[in-house]
Amino acid sequence: MRSIRFCVPGTPRGKERARTVHVDGRVMTFTPGQTVAYEDRVRGAFLKASGGTWTKVDTPLCIQILAKYPVPKSVSKKRRAAMLSGRLFPTKKPDWDNVGKIICDALNGIAYRDDAQIVFAAVSKSYTEGEGCVEVTLTALEKGA
């Protein structure tokens, strides 16, 4: 099995909904700029981790995503300790599915042919000291396994 692990630095982001505008009687749909920028950051982290050795796969895939949110500066020491020990979880936006969506969409056509190949996905959220990040592990499963 082939596998790659990489980290996307910065506070985790979720996939934003496409925006629709009316211009001169025509309807135009576009992806918000912050989503486009974050997807570029995901692709950059993947390409850096692969070192050019990963070739696009056409097999079933497993993806594990851990979104690590920075502990807010305003929380008490007791609450901070609970967050960092895993007794308190980040039950805030973005939703886990939007975090998974932005990561998987960013890797479309680069790490794999299409995200329809993903047959197992796990997304979790936790707190971390300092700046947040998203840790991604992508594993290519063998056909027929």
Domain 2-140: state its class.
alpha beta
- Read off the pLDDT of each residue in 34-38 and give the average, rounded to a whole number: 91
Rounded average pLDDT over 7-33: 88
What is the tens place of the pLDDT at every residue in 41-80? 999 999 999 998 888 988 999 999 999 999 999 999 999 9
Interacting residues of 130 by C-beta distance below 8 A, sequence separation 6+? 70
* Class of residue 28 by CB neighbours under 10 A (exposed 0-12, middle 13-18, buried 19+): exposed
Q: What is the pLDDT of residue 145?
A: 47
Handedness of CA 86, 88, 92, 95 (dihedral sign): positive
pTM higher than the cut 0.85: yes
What is the pLDDT, as a whole number, of residue 16? Answer: 84
Report the chain's mean pLDDT, rounded to a whole number. 92
Break the chain into its structural domains and give their ranges: 2-140
